[in-house]
Amino acid sequence: MVKKIVVVGSINMDLVTNVEAFPRPGETIHSLGVAYLPGGKGANQAVAAARSGASVRMVGAVGTDSFAQTLIDNLADSGVDTSGVLRKEGHSGLAVITVDRSGENHIVLAGGSNKAFGYGEIEGRIPWDEAHAVLLQNEIDWSVTEAVMREAGRRGVPVWFNPAPALKLEPEVLGLIHTCILNETEIEVITGAKVSGADDAVPAAGRLLEAGVRQVVVTLGDKGCVWVGREGEPVHVPAFKVQAVDTTAAGDTFIGAMAAASCEGKPVPEALRYAAAASALAVTRHGAQASIPARDEVERLLADAGR
């Protein structure tokens, strides 16, 4: 049986405006351009895993607005099984994103359909027996995320959690997480530890391991990423040097690519290098799902970089 990556999470239409520099509070500025592009942390991670060759099912919801079908079609065109996607009356998830000249972004979410379903509506759409792992983020109702974590625990399916947007987690919930992938801001919100590079990422990740998480990956932007697990020494993978134009979905690309690599049985250092290369390519392109590379592109970058 081919094992699946199951993503239970958000599906958004991203309304992206590009600006020279972010406006200050109270300031009105002109944008350099505007685009409607499929996004959502859950959907982006699903697309990243599928473009890396994994078998992926997306579980979530779109609305009944004009964006809904585009969002489903974009997932399907990327090879994601969309049979787990519900339609809920109302608007689809919307993210209002501003990207500045350096590629940094500000994102405001309007949850819509992502927040309009309960666990009972999606539990039958999760293929538990075929799941290699279930990927969760924090853009759907927390009660759904927590219910999926608990059921995954009962069934022995590893939970990969990306706590984004950042949130505080009860110690008991941390014990339900197998793999936690998060950035510097998110690990600070959860552990209280300031992380600015690989050296301080290791002790901060250690706090999550003490709370019950099996493995932690801290993504550090242009400083690369750090893996810390219960067994073995920490692994630091430096970032690939690229010219960033838009960092939107860089973390999502990393997570989906890493999940796909893990599903294939790649050892941790190799899976990290693969994920780092995928996210490096993503930041060289505009948009969320539009920026996520296919497996052959990632392998070419790895080969060209001799990694």
Indicate which residue of 14, 81, 246, 252 is catalytic. 252
Q: How far is the CB of 85 from ligand RIB (least distance, A)?
A: 15
- Counting contacts by CB under 6 A, is residue 40 touching ligand RIB? yes
**Distance between CA atoms of 104 and 69, rounded to whole angstroms?**
29
> Which of 169-177, 194-202, 244-252, 278-286 is the region at the interface with ligand RIB (rule: CB under 6 A)?
244-252
Residue closest to ligand RIB when measured from CB atoms: 39
Choose, by CB under 6 A, the member of 288, 290, 292, 301 that binds ligand RIB: 288
* Nearest residue (CB) to ligand RIB, 10 versus 179: 10
- Which residue, chain included where needed, has tokens 């697309």? 47
Question: Could you please report the per-residue DSSP string of 100-152?
Answer: -TTS-EEEEEE-GGGGS--HHHHGGG--GGGEEEEEE-SSS-HHHHHHHHHHH
What is the size of the binding site for ligand RIB (CB under 6 A)? 14
Chosen residue from 107, 148, 157, 159 binding ligand RIB by CB under 6 A: 107
- Residue 204 or residue 249: which is nearer to ligand RIB going by CB? 249
Mark the segment that binds ligand RIB (CB under 6 A) among 39-47, 81-89, 174-182, 187-195. 39-47
Query: 159 near 134, Cβ under 8 Å?
Result: yes
Residue in this structure with the two tokens 């989906």, named with its chain if needed: 256
Check residue 95 for interaction with ligand RIB (CB under 6 A): yes
Neighbours of 39 (CB within 10 A): 31
Q: Cβ of residue 285: shortest distance to ligand RIB, in angstroms?
A: 13
| Beta-bridge mates of residue 47 | none
Residues in region 120-179 near ligand RIB by CB under 6 A:
139
Q: In angstroms, rounded to a whole number, what is the distance separating the alpha carbons of residues 246 and 102?
A: 8
Name the residue among 114, 110, 60 with its Cα closest to residue 83: 60
Residue 248 found at the interface with ligand RIB (CB under 6 A): yes
* Token couple for 17: 């405006």
- CB atoms near residue 84 (< 10 Å): 20
| 73 among known catalytic residues | no
Active site residues: 252
Binding site for ligand RIB (CB under 6 A): 10, 12, 14, 39-41, 44, 95, 107, 139, 248-249, 252, 288
